[in-house]
Amino acid sequence: MPGTRTDYADYDDYVERSSALIGSPQEVLDKLARYHEAFGHTTISIGGHPGLLERGAWTDSLELFRSEVLPAANALIGDPAWPSPVGLPEVVPA
């Protein structure tokens, strides 16, 4: 619920139950698959907050996500077909 507090027993509990995408590419993919199963979404916004990581470690992490997680997520979840365009009403000259 908005405005409520979530408590975690420890770091492992935080990694498991929070929305943070932390872990190996497979662990991150597993979490994305659980999100998709629970919520049905096909789009996710990744802010990529570096926290206390040095810039190189942060960019390496983003590259690992791009090269290993995204292709697997796209294969697993896919992209829904776009709906048919809505037709405009015919304009009759006056």
pLDDT tens digits for 74-92? 898 887 777 777 776 677 7
Q: Give per-residue pLDDT as tens, 16-62.
A: 888 888 899 999 999 999 988 998 888 878 777 788 889 999 999 99
Return phi, psi of residue 58, to 5°.
Answer: -65, -50
pTM over 0.75: no
Within 10 angstroms of residue 23's Cβ, the number of other Cβ atoms is 13
d(CA 48, CA 65): 10
d(CA 78, CA 72): 9
